[in-house]
Amino acid sequence: MNLFKLSGIVSVIFGTLSCLILINPLLILFALLASIIGFVFSTMNIYINAKYEITKKPLSIGYVGLVLSSFPIIFLLVIIVRGH
């Protein structure tokens, strides 16, 4: 399996894992750790796609991983703004 497909799959896996960890808000540090790993792999996927133009679709799997990995950060920002 090439690096492009592997980085896309890993980014979606870690993005989904970070969303599932948010079911228990006490584990937000582990969710942030998983989201950082998801960000790294999704950025790698998006960069490889932009450099070599592998897919012509407007929505690559790296973008899906990026959106899923951003949910813990949005959740943390909402908690900070609400003051709890």
Number of domains present in the structure of the chain: 1
The pTM assigned to this predicted structure is: 0.92
Cα separation, 9 vs 7, whole angstroms: 6
User: What domain range is 59 assigned to?
Assistant: 3-82
CA–CA distance from 66 to each of 59, 71, 84 (Å)? 11, 9, 26
Residue 14, pLDDT score: 98
Q: What is the pLDDT of residues 15-69, one digit of tens each?
A: 999 999 999 999 999 999 999 999 999 999 999 999 988 888 888 899 999 999 9
